[in-house]
Structure 1
Amino acid sequence: MYITTRIDGATAAITPHGEIDHDALPGLLEAARALPATVTSVTWDLYHVPFMDAAGLHLLSRPQSDGPTPRFVGLRPQPQRLIRQAARLFPAAPWACATAG
């Protein structure tokens, strides 16, 4: 997993490259935690993520108290299917925020 982070004033973009699974999750969470306190808007660009398992759902549902509210864009077909299925099984879960991107 290769992760790039771009910060422009109060906004940040985090772009992972590779599969989001149990092994990749700690690095992704650390990328979010490492953002400066001045960042108020974070966009996760998931275009380069061809596969995601339940670890990706954990990333999508992390509490807002951990930092700025995330926005997810560039979802590929497999992650979209996973999120839709998870939303059907758990309609109260926060994954709906990811289906718009």
Structure 2
Amino acid sequence: MNITTVINGTFARITPSGDIDADSLAPLHTAVGALSPHVSDLQWDLHHTLFMDVSGLHLLLPQQLADPIQHITVVRLCPQPARLLLLAADLRPGIFDLARLLPAAPVGD
């Protein structure tokens, strides 16, 4: 998996290229862990992620990531990850709040 990280002040965008599953979680968590401590807003750009399994949903939960990260958003979802996120939001709306996760306009652009 190729992972690109862009940081602008307190905002970071991580763009993975490849499927997100249990095998790819470690490098993705490493990318998050390498962020500067002042980063509080994390955006996952998933336009190069054609498949994501349930383990990828853990990336969208702030309590699973570094302490300073307070806001997580997801942009440019491909169809399969979008369906998974919609299903998760239907099953656990309090955990996967689509209004919070899917911004009306991209952050940091």
Scaled by the length of structure 2, the TM-score of the pair is 0.79
TM-score (norm. length: structure 1): 0.85
What's 1:88 paired with?
A: 90
Q: Specify every segment of 5 or more residues in structure 1 that has no aligned partner in the other structure, as ranges.
A: none
Residues 4-56 of structure 1, C-alpha deviation per residue, up to 9 Å, x if partnerless?
Answer: 11122332211100000000011111111110112232211111100000111
Question: What residue is the counterpart of 2:35 in the other structure?
Answer: 35
Point out the more displaced range, 76-85 or 6-15. 6-15
Return the alpha-carbon distance in structure 2 between the equivalents of residues 67 and 42 of structure 1.
10
The residue correspondences of 1:23-62 to structure 2 (distance < 5 A) are 23-62=23-62
Q: Is the 8 A contact 2:20 2:56 kept in 1?
A: yes
RMSD, matched Cα: 1.9
Asked if residue 77 in structure 1 is aligned to residue 79 in structure 2, the reply is: yes
Deviations 1:33-86 (CA, angstroms, capped at 9, x unpaired): 110112232211111100000111111124166332222111111011111112
Identity over aligned residues, as a percent? Answer: 44
Distance 1:67 1:29, change over 3 A: farther
